[in-house]
Structure 1
Amino acid sequence: MASSVDSVHKSSDSVKDYSCVGCLSQNIEKSADFFCETCFKCFCEKCLYHHNQVFVNHVTYGRRETNKWPLEKAIEDLLLKCDVHNNKKLKMFCQDHSQLCCPDCVLLNHRQCTNLALISESVKTLSVDMQQLSKKIQSIIADLNKFKREQETSILSIEESYSEKLQEIRNQRKKLNAALDELENTTLKELDEIRTTLQTSLKKDVDSCGRLKDELQQLSEAVQGLCDKSIQDIEFIASRKCLDKIQESEKYLKENPVKVQSSIIFKANSDIEQYLSQQSDLGRFVDSMQSLKLKKNPDQVLTVKSKSEYNVKISNDTCLNCSISGICSLSSGHIIVADHSNKKVKLLDKNYKVSSHCDMPSSPLDICQITASEVAVTLGYAGVQFMSVSNGQLVNGRKLQLPHAAVGIAHHQGGLYITDNTALYHYTLTGNIVKKLCERDIYSPCNGM
């Protein structure tokens, strides 16, 4: 039997070449160049020379006749091994379940099956086109590679959008902090004003009381000094001044009664704290891979509350007016519009200003979102152009060329739904058609699937 060392390489999808048995006997791994049909062994050119010296009449085949070489043992072991019971070999084929079976499979799951036969018997009635099978496998491998690349691109897109959203969240927090700082500054300013007002009023009272007290104290000392002097005219003057000052003091005390100790009372705006306590986050995340469903009453009437117009014309537009045939809003806040008359797809920033654009080979007709940063644009008979937003710029990606015009387009759960005005087609994201859903002439409605 032809031998091979470590036939299935751990880090590769390819199978290692046949090994020379003569070199292997000397613990040397070397690729074989010839196969001896009589010995059923593989040799390198050097070992074949010694082989031919002994076995002159043996038939050998070189590299150009590998179809006459045997199947490598590693490949044979791989194919004959049962996928369920690894230590068992496949012996039977169940036509009822279209399944290969080892003895354990037959014993456990196929004892009641009526169309169960040895594989050696089944091959007599079931033909296999290995070339067609190989083409099909290569086609699927190509599709898997495309899908893998697309998913890897989506992973990078998610990382990019994650960084953008992280920065947006931090910016939102800064805005909230700035708003709270402004509220705090306004409140502190009001507090300072209240303190100044209260202190000014109280200091005025203190000064007035001090003045009246000092004046009364001076008059009291003067009255005490006149008690034993018997100077009538001065006593009269003193008495009148005392009565006037007493009257002034009593009036002041009456107009300014003693108050409870003054203090500043602050009543917090509980609405702010209550509102924040009711919030679970700073915003909502929308997964662009999921279809958004409106949970609304289907009979509800929607009313337009406001309308705004923005100019998306740029300097190198060929037409005076922009004709917007499609529009798409991304979760990043960017808007992508299809300008039919100017054969451009334009990227608008959050202020609705054109920040980037791509020229199209023909007028864009419709647009739909694929991922968080990728869209697909229909170009009639020019096919479907995929585009993405990277670092704030609009970038062309892959392109699908279809056997019909691409007019309308929608994306749902990994499928593209494209119209050519007379039919609706279901495609995969790689451009493989799944089926034609419906078709109509221009005078009759679509009859459905």
Structure 2
Amino acid sequence: MASSHMCGPCTRMDKSASAVKFCIDCEDSLCTDCVNNHKAIKATALHHLIDEVQAGKVFSIKRTCSDHPDMSLEFYCSNHESLCCRTCSVNTHRTCGKILPIDVAARGIKSSVMLNDVIEDLKGLLKTAEQLVEDRAKNKENIGKAKATTLQTIVKFKRQLIQELDELEKKLLTEVDETELKLARTAESDLSDIKIRHKAIVDISEQLEFLTKHGSESQILMLLNTIRVDISKQENALQNLIPSYECIHVNFKASKIKTTLNSLGSLELKSVPCSIAHKSSKHKQAQISQEHEEMPTKFKLKNEFKVPYSNGRIASIIVTNDNKLLLCYSGNDSKALSIWSETGDHFQDCKLAASAWGIAIIPGTNEAVVTLPSINSIQFVNITNMTQGKLMKVSDHCYGITVIKDMIVLGGMGKVYFLTMTGSLIKTFNVGSGNLHTLKTGKMEMIYCCEAVNNTLHCIDINGTIIFSYKSTEFIGAEDVALDGKENLYVTTWRSNKLHRLSSDGKLLDTLLKKEDGLNAPFAVAFNKNYTKLYISNGHKEVLIFDCA
């Protein structure tokens, strides 16, 4: 980077001119003339110029490959969520599905889930660091107060004794002073250390905020990949520091003066662990993933939100491991897939090759696969950064989809197709006669298929054997199915405005929700990961959120 006071281009031409602007894209300081030239040249006209005084805030972004130091980072691998050079893209990432130039991958980064997650991680770190600064400052203050309290106790105790105990009193007072000095030094050291860490986290936050406002998308992406390591280091450091922090209480413990006169007493130190706890997003996700095996018995409407898209409807809902909602939208290609919080806050949309219907997450990966029935295709999606992946043609208008034993299973017109992950057809089974709008898989590797046109829920195994087919006069328009921790089945019937519960062997248990509970053409249905919330797409563009107990 050029000097923060002298113009870079002029300096390289042995001229002297003071810089007034800084180009983030070129990472160069510019004088007034060079700024005008910069704006005039077509290739640099759209570069981001900032005041020279702000240039020092630009974060130093790593641009070379760690494995190949002589190679520049040019690509982004969606599969591994990592930057790579040309050599890495050919060797390490040869079989990855989507390798993009950094400029392409960085499009939309300012509104991405990745940026939101990093900002949230930084907010969490900053909050913990600020709490620790306050806690350590209070601890230091309390040590001083404890000294005063202890001295008062000693004086009161001393007044009850005869004059001959003065020497013992002096000895104990000295011990108090020495103890206070030692504790104060420790407290000062703790406070000083956490202030340094707090400043480091603030600096990272300011750099990210600055580049988010003024930097290019490429720089933001590269910065995110750079600071994630720093965030992890700071997080690990805080997790290690917190258990070592103690809040010391100094109390005076009186001696048994009638039986011993060689001491007034002693100082008793009581250590209380630091009450501040830092919970990382990874820790929260691990907690969320624990399943509740009990069958919900109560459903209370807690909240609802509308999807502000024209045309179409919410065809499918699935819940990610961190309890975010993925909505498939039928009728709008540019918003075919969107991600929302569990309370209805919108994060990001993902444009696909066509409007979407069904979606299934590939276990153990950050990828999902979506059905696009209007073009007889399925498409892979990276659900971490919401970027589209490989598009594959299929032989039918497929709607429902699930993944089981490294096989993609699709529901077509009266048929269930089993495909490899590369799209090769393995086997086909006949199931019903209408479109199978939904396929869901249980723990026992059974596949549940909703055939709305014939008001039927089918259950088959991976060999195509039909285990049961449930149908009744109130089961009108069976559209989607969700499973609880006991493998009970929750089926929406959009024509009869109901949510039914069936046992895993296809017996009707009860009807849980009806029109009077707010259901109006219920379509997609899904539980969160611990079965405490139930989501139902209601009508075309509304999602109802029920608390379960």
TM-score, normalised to structure 1, is 0.38
- The structure where strand makes up a greater share of residues is 2
- The structure where helix makes up a greater share of residues is 1
**Relative contact order higher in (CA < 8 Å, ≥ 6 apart):** 2
Greater Cα radius of gyration, structure 1 or 2? 1
